[in-house]
Structure 1
Amino acid sequence: MKNIKLYQVFLALLGLIAILLTISLFIPEEGIRVFGMNLKFPTIGRLMHPKKQETAEIDNIIVDVDTTFADPLLQHQNGSNGDMGAPNAGELSVKNSTIIHLNDAGLVNLHNFFEKLSSAATAKKKVHILHYGDSQIEGDRMTGFIRERLQNQFGGNGPGLVPANNVYNTFAFVQTYSPNFKRYTCFGGDKLNSRKYGVMGSAARFTREYKDSAEIANETSIKTGWIELAASGSAFGRSRSFSTVKMYYNSCIKPCAINVYENGALIHQDSLKADGKSHIFKLTFPGTPGKLKFEFSTAISPTISNFTLEGDYGVQMSNIGMRGSSGTIFGSMDRGVVAEAMNDLGVELIIMQYGGNSVPFFKDSASVRNYASYFKGQLNSLKSMRPSAAIVVIGPSDMSRMVDGIYETYPFLPYCVEQMKKVSMEAGAGYWDLYGAMGGKNSMPAWVNKGLAGNDYIHFSNGGARVAAQLFYDALIAEYVKWSGKGE
């Protein structure tokens, strides 16, 4: 066996270093394509001047953000007499570090919402806000905080809409259901042939859908399914109290018995309307009920769209998180069912918080414009379903990708913000720039460093969600104060 001399090892290392330096001198920054793969190698410039982590300065953004609740929460000791919803009110702050971008049409629509919001408590009417979004709002994040602020100021109780079959961790309510209840969504997973998901874009059944009339007639075997709901001790104070429980359902084509239990005791027996149309099953209580169990018995399951847990009047605000969605799903829903539900709920403001799920996949500016154009179509679809409602779009937050060991803002994210703002205003909607509110480019690493966002450099922590929610609330209330003349 030949002995390898030390100087030979040294020369081999020098040769290897020379080869690597030669590659570094001539390889382009973007790498080279070899057999369909993109091979990258540090350039000589990168070796001599390595990139450093850029982190935006955000101390001036978060230092004055107050996410505490000073006002005492309204307590209902004597049960509901139609008065659950009275506001705590208090002085409105005119301090805001961000704005909602609005053109003349958007301003008119928002002012119409403010008109209804301002009179909700005195007129003892409900004003419902739908907060649609992706996983950034999942589990009542952001929504719950904004809801508590609005309900304290303008009245209202309860968490609003509850999906028939919730699969996400949430602060807003407690829910369980029988194993045979299956979830269907318009934004991923199993679909309904009828497309009758309802306003939340999701629904549940404990038998499959039937289309053949002979098969429907022959199905006589009775099955049961159940859904349990209760107030959550983890929710904000106002969301823990409610006096009205409604269930939205459709596609009931066989006689269906329903029993309702409170803390195990049977309190109501009834049957659902078996005409296949959309209906609402409603119960009211003298105060916040205990654990409610809805038990169904039928040969073919109706489609349960959602429940709603509400007070008697004031602001109702619903969290509708759609994991993985880019907000381009409203064309896949039965618009008649959605419009019916929106009218019953009294929806006067729709918040659309999307864009983040598309950002990582943009390849060029044209792909951004295509997404924005399609998103504008969704806003117009919403307007057609509920023409009286104002719409405010919350764009994507800053998001980071790792490049050469450094976290950087996705390259087309700023352009996405620009285009979403453009099409939102064209559609008569307002636009609130979450990316800018955070501090803009490379602000996400700063939020992560301060514990306001997770190590995925995409999602807020619970504390960060509160900060973002407060910034949005401040911008919304600043517009309200200007409208009401209190800021003059």
Structure 2
Amino acid sequence: QSRFGGGGVGLLNAVPHSYQPGAVYQSTSSNWHYTSIADLGRGGVGHRFGVMGGYSVFKDSRRASKGGFAEAWIDFDKRGSHYSLARNYSNCKVIYGHAVEPVMLSLSYSGSTQDAEFLSPTNTIESIEWSIPKSVKKIRLNFKGDESPMVYAVSLETPKGIVVDNIAIRGSSGVDFTRSDNASLKRIMGLMRPRLIILQFGVNIVPHIVKSYAYYENQIYQQIVALKKVNPEVSVILIGVSDMSRKVNGQFESYPNIEMIRDAQRSAALRAGAAFWDCYRAMGGKNSMPAWVYASPSLASKDFVHFTLRGSNIIAEMFYSSLMELYDEYTEMQLEN
């Protein structure tokens, strides 16, 4: 964004995760309920999970509502002085769908309601968008109606430049996209029109040691193909598994299957026409995780699996440098031709 323009925090669930981006603090009324793709086995949740891997609905709160309707709200509050680009949003987009009854959605800031729109009943996925002055620190989205639509995401972004959406699907090994309803996924992709999808999965597979990861290669291949099918114009980059250690005879060593999983991911990416970036190699390869954990300050946590914020930033810089190096080579070739 500092190079090409753009800003904002991108897509957020209506119900915030325990970890929130440092630039914006999100709070909600207590009657929101989030359903994720991980809830499929419980039944009765359908398959319309969209690109975020889940949706939110508000439950009946009409006892607390003066108008006799169910009502729910979401607040977004700019915080701190860091991450200035993330706080630099001027658009608020709500992605919703499958509304059985009309719902009133209003946008408020600076102490008053600025705009309100009726969301008509729909059996597909729609979006509504408002412009917001950059000087506004806090906004509220208020929903009022007899029955909640599925709220897939709220995006705080700029109208131009690069918008980065960080979609965390906790506990996923990266094989959930084909479990979502294809029509819903395609519709959201059409509304968002992403040009690049970066996938990063793998550590949840590592503890399951088997002789062959051909099955996993095929699963990852199917995910990339599915994403490209619903959005043929999109490019995909798969970031490979990072190093991960376990204790053997008192010493932390890489799991013996890391390189097999990495190779399966790379093969899947190349088969599907995607690019691959080797995070394991970038870290230093076999048995590199302890060096990240014991660095001062620490670059990875004591579980020898996850990066600290500082370590994540270093990996991000390494990836960005690789990406921009190839981008610059590509643009130079285009100019020569």
Name the TM-score, length of structure 1 as normaliser.
Answer: 0.64
Structure 1, unpaired ranges of 5+ = 1-150, 209-220
Q: Distance in 2 between matches of 1:473 and 1:192?
A: 41
Equivalent residue for 1:163, pick from 13, 30, 43? 13
- Residue 260 of structure 1: CA displacement? 2.0
1:326-405 to 2 correspondence within 5 Å?
Answer: 326-362=173-209, 364-366=210-212, 368-405=213-250
Cα deviation 1:190-247 (Å, max 9, x = unaligned): 7763322222112100139xxxxxxxxxxxx721111112334365221111111100
Quick one: which of 5, 28, 34 aligns to 1:183? Answer: 34
Q: Tell me the equivalent position of 1:241.
A: 88
Structure holding more helix per residue: 1
In the alignment, the residues of structure 1 paired with residue 148 and residue 207 of structure 2 have an alpha-carbon distance, to the nearest angstrom, of: 40
Confirm or deny that 1:317 pairs with 2:164: yes
When Rg is computed on C-alpha atoms for both structures, the one with the higher figure is 1
Please state if 1:444 is matched with 2:289: yes
1:174 is aligned, of 9, 25, 30, to 25
Match of 2:52 in 1: 200
Report the equivalent of 1:429. 274
Q: Distance in 1 between matches of 2:166 and 2:152?
A: 15
Cα deviation 1:42-62 (Å, max 9, x = unaligned) = xxxxxxxxxxxxxxxxxxxxx
- On the 8 A contact 1:365/1:415 being kept in 2, the answer is no
Higher strand share: 2
Per-residue CA deviation, residues 269-299 of structure 1 (Å, 9 max, x unaligned), is 2211112321111111232533111111111
How far is 1:302 from its partner? 0.8
SS of structure 2 residue aligned to 1:193: coil
- Identity %, equivalent residues: 31
The TM-score with structure 2 as length reference comes to: 0.91
Q: Which amino acid aligns with 2:142?
A: E
Structure 1 residues 60-459: aligned runs within 5 Å: 151-170=1-20, 171-188=22-39, 193-207=45-59, 222-233=69-80, 236-362=83-209, 364-366=210-212, 368-450=213-295, 451-459=298-306
Residues 313 and 421 of structure 1: CA distance in aligned 2, closer, same or farther (over 3 Å): same
State the aligned residue count: 325
The more displaced of 375-384 and 401-410 is: 401-410
Q: Secondary structure at the match of 1:428?
A: coil
Conserved 8 A contact 2:127-2:191: no
278-287 vs 260-269, which deviates more?
A: 260-269
Cα distance, 1:405–1:191 mapped onto 2, change above 3 Å: farther
Give 5+ residue unaligned stretches, structure 2: 61-67
Runs of 4+ in structure 1 off by over 3 angstroms are 187-192
Q: Secondary structure at the match of 2:74?
A: strand
- State the Cα RMSD in Å: 2.1
TM-superposed deviation, 1:411 = 0.8
Aligned equivalents of 2:291, 2:50: Cα separation in 1: 39
Aligned to 1:479, the other structure's residue is in SS state helix
Would the alpha carbon gap of residues 165 and 235 (structure 1) be closer, same or farther in structure 2, given more than 3 Å must change? Answer: farther
